[in-house]
Structure 1
């Protein structure tokens, strides 16, 4: 059964430096702000790349293994996490978080400890800094065919393209990407982009290489 978590997003701080005239060059300020929102603010490839580099250095491994990755846009006070056929380990990940809203673009990663493969830890990466690990209670099935090497998800290097595709495919007016969720479902690793708009919400799913699979209103 699909599970939804709600938060509320507003415009990120990257637009604060706009001039008082309300435009940049020939671009109207309102149009520019909508472009920034649609692109997810800080949902860019540099976010997961920075997180993986920091994790690799911390753990002493070239390619860390994760069971879930969640990327959230800046000032994400409102967003919806909804998935098609949501696996139990993803539901637990979303339920374990005390709060998913964040002021800055943030990567949250549930990582398999390379020294103790039967253990999981949660890490948060924001503003270029990797937080300390939080131990995770492991349930039956949490480590059975759920982990994946992050380096195998080349879609994360094309994050801006996935965000643009998701917003376009949603068919919603004034839509923006608010969150990206990565997890394994059976034999496949899926990347789900959540899109929100004043009159609705949608998700788009991609495979690990970034190939578009489906889009659905939620």
Structure 2
């Protein structure tokens, strides 16, 4: 039976493809306060601003490509049962060939009804005011905003509980509830944390291995190591 490799990814893995990490050092997202563009209240107050913000993000996503770290994780599927849990809203994991991807924070290339979260549609063009779902309500980005539940969290916990190896890449491990997933890995599961400026240390977890590398360097290295040592 193939070993279960669980990979938790964040903004850093996509940044190397040219996708801007939304939040800058000053806490603004593309010059906007988070409350304006990433909360239900912001959408209610100024839906056109919020739609434009995500329309710009969607346009940029369609101009970039997966990088070496995305392709390395897809290659890992040839040898192990790989499940990626991502905080990213892009589709770069899927474009690189990864088959099992759980999006914690939604997907930029989908929209959903603003009154029924179960009405979800694929969407690559702009969302405009007046674009309605089948129930007659305004379509909104299929994004988990601040203050909203993370519907895929229970599934992510169940996946992590079965991990034989946990790889964490491109995430600061500061955003909850996603950051808490590390604690759902079975005791003594090897954890590989890839980050040029790691926010956790080996003092936090006895089974933690840190690679102070970028995603495009560190992920292919870990993938080769796992293939060489676990088969």
TM class, shorter-length:
under 0.3
Q: Under a length normalisation based on structure 2, what TM-score does the superposition of the two structures give?
A: 0.25
- Structure with greater Cα Rg: 2
Q: Under a length normalisation based on structure 1, what TM-score does the superposition of the two structures give?
A: 0.26
Q: Is the helix fraction higher in 1 or 2? A: 2
Q: Is the strand fraction higher in 1 or 2? A: 1
